[in-house]
Protein backbone atom coordinates (compact mmCIF):
# COMPACT_ATOMS: atom_id res chain seq x y z
CA UNK A 1 0.00 0.00 0.00
CA UNK A 2 1.39 3.35 -1.07
CA UNK A 3 0.19 5.36 1.95
CA UNK A 4 0.41 2.75 4.70
CA UNK A 5 0.61 4.32 8.19
CA UNK A 6 0.17 7.85 6.82
CA UNK A 7 -2.48 10.31 7.96
CA UNK A 8 -4.01 12.41 5.19
CA UNK A 9 -6.23 15.46 5.66
CA UNK A 10 -8.31 16.50 2.63
CA UNK A 11 -10.26 19.75 2.52
CA UNK A 12 -13.34 19.76 0.34
CA UNK A 13 -13.30 16.05 1.02
CA UNK A 14 -17.07 15.51 0.90
CA UNK A 15 -17.48 15.64 -2.89
CA UNK A 16 -15.78 15.79 -6.26
CA UNK A 17 -11.98 15.53 -6.34
CA UNK A 18 -11.82 15.56 -2.54
CA UNK A 19 -14.14 12.59 -2.11
CA UNK A 20 -12.42 10.61 -4.88
CA UNK A 21 -9.06 11.32 -3.23
CA UNK A 22 -10.29 10.31 0.22
CA UNK A 23 -11.47 6.97 -1.14
CA UNK A 24 -8.28 6.34 -3.13
CA UNK A 25 -5.97 7.37 -0.29
CA UNK A 26 -7.86 5.11 2.11
CA UNK A 27 -7.56 2.14 -0.24
CA UNK A 28 -3.81 2.75 -0.21
CA UNK A 29 -3.66 2.52 3.58
CA UNK A 30 -3.97 6.13 4.76
CA UNK A 31 -6.04 7.24 7.71
CA UNK A 32 -8.28 10.00 6.40
CA UNK A 33 -9.61 13.24 7.83
CA UNK A 34 -12.45 14.52 5.66
CA UNK A 35 -12.69 18.28 6.18
CA UNK A 36 -15.65 20.04 4.62
CA UNK A 37 -18.38 22.57 5.35
CA UNK A 38 -20.98 19.88 4.59
CA UNK A 39 -21.23 17.65 7.66
CA UNK A 40 -23.73 15.15 6.24
CA UNK A 41 -21.80 14.46 3.04
CA UNK A 42 -18.50 14.27 4.96
CA UNK A 43 -19.92 11.64 7.28
CA UNK A 44 -21.14 9.62 4.30
CA UNK A 45 -17.60 9.55 2.89
CA UNK A 46 -16.26 8.48 6.28
CA UNK A 47 -18.88 5.72 6.51
CA UNK A 48 -17.91 4.46 3.05
CA UNK A 49 -14.24 4.30 4.02
CA UNK A 50 -15.01 2.57 7.30
CA UNK A 51 -17.29 0.04 5.58
CA UNK A 52 -14.34 -0.93 3.40
CA UNK A 53 -12.17 -1.49 6.48
CA UNK A 54 -10.39 1.86 6.51
CA UNK A 55 -9.96 4.51 9.19
CA UNK A 56 -11.51 7.94 8.74
CA UNK A 57 -13.07 10.84 10.61
CA UNK A 58 -14.94 13.97 9.58
CA UNK A 59 -14.53 17.53 10.79
CA UNK A 60 -16.72 20.46 9.77
CA UNK A 61 -14.41 23.17 8.43
CA UNK A 62 -14.72 26.58 6.85
CA UNK A 63 -11.34 26.96 5.18
CA UNK A 64 -11.71 30.74 5.00
CA UNK A 65 -11.94 30.99 8.81
CA UNK A 66 -8.69 30.97 10.79
CA UNK A 67 -10.11 29.40 13.96
CA UNK A 68 -11.92 26.73 11.96
CA UNK A 69 -8.71 25.73 10.19
CA UNK A 70 -6.79 25.69 13.45
CA UNK A 71 -9.47 23.40 14.84
CA UNK A 72 -9.25 21.16 11.78
CA UNK A 73 -5.53 20.57 12.29
CA UNK A 74 -5.98 20.05 16.04
CA UNK A 75 -8.73 17.52 15.32
CA UNK A 76 -6.44 15.62 12.96
CA UNK A 77 -3.64 15.35 15.52
CA UNK A 78 -6.00 14.50 18.36
CA UNK A 79 -7.74 11.80 16.31
CA UNK A 80 -4.84 10.14 14.52
CA UNK A 81 -1.76 11.52 16.27
CA UNK A 82 -0.02 13.11 13.30
CA UNK A 83 -0.32 14.73 9.87
CA UNK A 84 1.61 13.40 6.88
CA UNK A 85 -0.39 14.51 3.84
CA UNK A 86 -2.27 17.80 3.54
CA UNK A 87 -4.43 18.12 0.42
CA UNK A 88 -5.72 21.70 0.26
CA UNK A 89 -8.45 21.00 -2.24
CA UNK A 90 -11.49 23.01 -1.13
CA UNK A 91 -12.55 25.64 -3.62
CA UNK A 92 -15.47 27.36 -5.29
CA UNK A 93 -16.40 28.81 -8.65
CA UNK A 94 -19.00 31.59 -8.44
CA UNK A 95 -21.47 31.77 -11.36
CA UNK A 96 -21.27 35.59 -11.32
CA UNK A 97 -17.47 35.63 -11.50
CA UNK A 98 -16.76 37.25 -14.86
CA UNK A 99 -14.76 40.10 -16.36
CA UNK A 100 -12.54 42.34 -14.25
CA UNK A 101 -14.90 45.11 -15.31
CA UNK A 102 -18.06 43.71 -13.76
CA UNK A 103 -17.16 41.19 -11.04
CA UNK A 104 -18.44 42.55 -7.73
CA UNK A 105 -16.27 43.07 -4.67
CA UNK A 106 -18.33 40.56 -2.69
CA UNK A 107 -17.78 37.85 -5.30
CA UNK A 108 -14.06 38.63 -5.52
CA UNK A 109 -13.67 38.50 -1.75
CA UNK A 110 -15.57 35.23 -1.35
CA UNK A 111 -13.63 33.41 -4.09
CA UNK A 112 -10.26 34.68 -2.86
CA UNK A 113 -11.14 33.86 0.76
CA UNK A 114 -11.91 30.22 0.01
CA UNK A 115 -9.63 29.42 -2.93
CA UNK A 116 -6.50 31.31 -1.88
CA UNK A 117 -6.75 32.30 1.77
CA UNK A 118 -8.06 28.80 2.52
CA UNK A 119 -4.87 27.26 1.14
CA UNK A 120 -2.76 29.82 2.98
CA UNK A 121 -4.45 28.98 6.29
CA UNK A 122 -4.18 25.25 5.64
CA UNK A 123 -0.44 25.60 5.13
CA UNK A 124 0.01 28.05 8.01
CA UNK A 125 -1.45 25.62 10.54
CA UNK A 126 -0.73 22.34 8.78
CA UNK A 127 3.02 22.81 8.34
CA UNK A 128 3.79 22.92 12.10
CA UNK A 129 1.86 19.65 12.49
CA UNK A 130 3.88 18.12 9.65
CA UNK A 131 7.11 19.28 11.25
CA UNK A 132 6.03 17.53 14.44
CA UNK A 133 5.52 14.38 12.34
CA UNK A 134 8.95 14.64 10.71
CA UNK A 135 7.79 15.99 7.36
CA UNK A 136 5.18 15.27 4.75
CA UNK A 137 3.53 16.17 1.47
CA UNK A 138 1.40 19.23 0.75
CA UNK A 139 -0.79 19.14 -2.33
CA UNK A 140 -2.63 22.28 -3.38
CA UNK A 141 -5.34 22.37 -6.04
CA UNK A 142 -4.63 25.14 -8.54
CA UNK A 143 -5.96 25.04 -12.12
CA UNK A 144 -4.85 25.11 -15.74
CA UNK A 145 -6.13 28.72 -15.84
CA UNK A 146 -3.28 29.65 -13.48
CA UNK A 147 -0.91 28.91 -16.35
CA UNK A 148 -2.59 30.55 -19.33
CA UNK A 149 -5.67 32.42 -18.19
CA UNK A 150 -9.19 31.44 -19.15
CA UNK A 151 -10.91 31.72 -22.50
CA UNK A 152 -14.09 32.49 -20.55
CA UNK A 153 -13.80 35.45 -18.17
CA UNK A 154 -13.60 34.38 -14.50
CA UNK A 155 -11.23 36.91 -12.99
CA UNK A 156 -11.53 36.01 -9.30
CA UNK A 157 -11.16 32.28 -9.88
CA UNK A 158 -8.19 32.70 -12.22
CA UNK A 159 -6.46 35.12 -9.84
CA UNK A 160 -7.04 32.81 -6.87
CA UNK A 161 -5.57 29.81 -8.65
CA UNK A 162 -2.58 31.81 -9.88
CA UNK A 163 -1.95 32.75 -6.26
CA UNK A 164 -2.17 29.12 -5.15
CA UNK A 165 0.42 28.14 -7.75
CA UNK A 166 2.90 30.85 -6.73
CA UNK A 167 2.37 30.26 -3.01
CA UNK A 168 3.00 26.53 -3.45
CA UNK A 169 6.36 27.19 -5.07
CA UNK A 170 7.47 29.51 -2.30
CA UNK A 171 6.43 27.04 0.40
CA UNK A 172 8.26 24.26 -1.43
CA UNK A 173 11.50 26.24 -1.39
CA UNK A 174 11.18 27.34 2.22
CA UNK A 175 10.53 23.89 3.68
CA UNK A 176 12.39 21.56 1.32
CA UNK A 177 15.20 20.90 3.80
CA UNK A 178 12.73 20.16 6.56
CA UNK A 179 11.38 17.15 4.69
CA UNK A 180 8.20 18.86 3.53
CA UNK A 181 7.28 18.73 -0.14
CA UNK A 182 4.70 21.07 -1.69
CA UNK A 183 3.23 20.64 -5.16
CA UNK A 184 0.30 22.10 -7.07
CA UNK A 185 -2.10 20.13 -9.24
CA UNK A 186 -3.48 22.07 -12.21
CA UNK A 187 -6.56 20.19 -13.39
CA UNK A 188 -8.53 20.96 -16.49
CA UNK A 189 -12.34 20.99 -16.20
CA UNK A 190 -13.51 18.07 -14.08
CA UNK A 191 -16.89 16.37 -14.41
CA UNK A 192 -18.38 17.18 -11.02
CA UNK A 193 -21.91 18.19 -9.95
CA UNK A 194 -20.73 21.82 -9.79
CA UNK A 195 -19.44 21.78 -13.37
CA UNK A 196 -22.58 20.03 -14.59
CA UNK A 197 -24.67 22.82 -13.05
CA UNK A 198 -22.49 25.59 -14.48
CA UNK A 199 -22.46 24.02 -17.95
CA UNK A 200 -26.09 22.87 -18.12
CA UNK A 201 -26.45 24.89 -21.33
CA UNK A 202 -25.22 22.55 -24.14
CA UNK A 203 -23.72 25.46 -26.11
CA UNK A 204 -21.78 26.68 -23.09
CA UNK A 205 -20.59 23.15 -22.46
CA UNK A 206 -19.42 22.75 -26.04
CA UNK A 207 -17.48 26.02 -25.90
CA UNK A 208 -15.43 24.48 -23.08
CA UNK A 209 -15.02 21.08 -24.71
CA UNK A 210 -13.66 22.51 -27.95
CA UNK A 211 -10.49 23.58 -26.10
CA UNK A 212 -9.74 20.08 -24.76
CA UNK A 213 -7.67 17.96 -27.19
CA UNK A 214 -8.77 14.71 -25.51
CA UNK A 215 -12.35 15.80 -26.18
CA UNK A 216 -13.90 15.26 -22.74
CA UNK A 217 -13.80 16.54 -19.19
CA UNK A 218 -11.72 14.73 -16.59
CA UNK A 219 -13.37 12.58 -13.99
CA UNK A 220 -12.57 13.17 -10.34
CA UNK A 221 -10.76 9.85 -10.00
CA UNK A 222 -8.19 10.89 -12.61
CA UNK A 223 -7.24 13.97 -10.60
CA UNK A 224 -7.26 11.93 -7.39
CA UNK A 225 -4.74 9.54 -8.94
CA UNK A 226 -2.37 12.46 -9.55
CA UNK A 227 -2.81 13.59 -5.95
CA UNK A 228 -2.15 10.04 -4.74
CA UNK A 229 1.17 9.96 -6.58
CA UNK A 230 2.24 13.30 -5.08
CA UNK A 231 1.19 12.13 -1.62
CA UNK A 232 3.21 8.93 -1.88
CA UNK A 233 6.92 8.30 -1.38
CA UNK A 234 7.13 7.62 -5.12
CA UNK A 235 7.22 11.42 -5.47
CA UNK A 236 9.95 11.86 -2.85
CA UNK A 237 12.14 13.99 -5.16
CA UNK A 238 9.29 16.14 -6.47
CA UNK A 239 8.61 19.51 -4.86
CA UNK A 240 7.62 22.91 -6.19
CA UNK A 241 6.16 21.27 -9.25
CA UNK A 242 3.20 22.23 -11.41
CA UNK A 243 1.46 18.92 -12.02
CA UNK A 244 -0.79 19.61 -15.01
CA UNK A 245 -3.64 17.14 -15.52
CA UNK A 246 -5.72 18.85 -18.18
CA UNK A 247 -6.28 16.62 -21.19
CA UNK A 248 -3.82 18.70 -23.22
CA UNK A 249 -5.53 22.08 -22.81
CA UNK A 250 -2.43 24.06 -21.92
CA UNK A 251 -0.50 22.48 -24.79
CA UNK A 252 -3.24 23.57 -27.19
CA UNK A 253 -3.10 27.11 -25.76
CA UNK A 254 0.58 27.46 -26.65
CA UNK A 255 1.09 29.26 -29.94
CA UNK A 256 3.82 27.61 -32.08
CA UNK A 257 6.70 29.91 -32.93
HEC string for 99-116: CCCCCCHHHHHHHHHHHH
> Which one of 125, 157, 237, 253 is the catalytic residue?
157
Average pLDDT over residues 4-11: 98
| Protein fold of 7-253 | Rossmann fold (3.40.50)
* Inter-residue contact 152 to 35 (CB < 8 Å): no
- State the pLDDT at residue 257: 47
- State the pLDDT at residue 148: 87
Is the confidence at residue 194, as pLDDT, over 70?
Answer: no
DSSP-assigned letter for residue 201 = S
Per the annotation, the verdict on 157 as an active-site residue is yes
* Inter-residue contact 66 to 76 (CB < 8 Å): no
The pLDDT tens digits of the residues spanning 140-167 come to 999 999 998 887 789 999 999 999 999 9
Of the pLDDT bands very low, low, confident and very high (cuts 50, 70, 90), residue 239 is: very high
pTM: 0.95
* Inter-residue contact 87 to 231 (CB < 8 Å): yes
Average pLDDT over residues 14-31: 98
Alpha helices, DSSP H only, in the chain? 16-27, 39-51, 66-80, 105-112, 118-133, 145-148, 155-175, 193-198, 202-209, 220-231, 249-253
Amino acid sequence: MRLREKVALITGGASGIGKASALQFAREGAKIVVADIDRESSEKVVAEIQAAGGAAAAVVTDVADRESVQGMIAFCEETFGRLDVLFNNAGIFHPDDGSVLDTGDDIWDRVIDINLKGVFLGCRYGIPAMLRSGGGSIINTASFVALHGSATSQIAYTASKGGVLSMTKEIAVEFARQNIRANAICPGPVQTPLLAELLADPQRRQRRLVHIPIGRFANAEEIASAALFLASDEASYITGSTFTVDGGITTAYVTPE
